[in-house]
């Protein structure tokens, strides 16, 4: 799959990005104040912040991880490893939480001992986000 231009170009407003990742705008803005990695804070132009598709994918992973119960700062750090300039491979991100410890494992296949765990198909999540973002991007252009 060829990545669309909006994967690397700042194309989505704060409200659009929040909608794409499945968070309210208030929640998304709260995440932004948590000092995530500087690579995912968006680009400020004319007093407005716009996000690339790659940055939206980062925040989508943060939303998925935090919905599972991963602490937000841990989710911010873990998501940064997987939101790269290229489309993720067909790996599965396996997240296990035991007490206060969260473990992340990248696997080619779902291991038999994965339960109870959060299992995220990274490429499928990216493709799903790209499809939804393409609709938003097409609406903005027209």
Question: What is the pTM assigned to this prediction?
Answer: 0.91
**Domain layout of the chain by residue ranges:** 5-141
97-138 pLDDT, tens digit per residue, is 888 888 999 999 887 776 678 999 999 999 999 999 999 988
pLDDT > 90? residue 39: no
SS3 40: helix
Distance CA 99, CA 7 (A): 36
């Amino acid at each position: 799959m060829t990545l669309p231009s909006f994967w690397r170009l700042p194309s989505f407003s704060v409200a659009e990005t929040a909608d794409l990742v499945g968070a309210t705008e208030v929640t998304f803005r709260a995440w932004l104040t948590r000092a995530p990695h500087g690579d995912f804070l968006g680009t400020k132009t004319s007093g407005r912040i716009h996000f690339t598709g790659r940055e939206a994918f980062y925040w989508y992973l943060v939303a998925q991880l935090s919905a599972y119960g991963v602490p937000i700062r841990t989710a911010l750090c873990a998501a940064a490893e997987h939101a790269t300039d290229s489309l993720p491979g067909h790996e599965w991100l396996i997240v296990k939480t035991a007490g206060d410890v969260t473990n992340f494992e990248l696997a080619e296949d779902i291991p038999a001992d994965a339960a109870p765990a959060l299992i995220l198909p990274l490429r499928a999540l990216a493709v799903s986000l790209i499809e939804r973002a393409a609709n938003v991007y097409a609406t903005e252009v027209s």
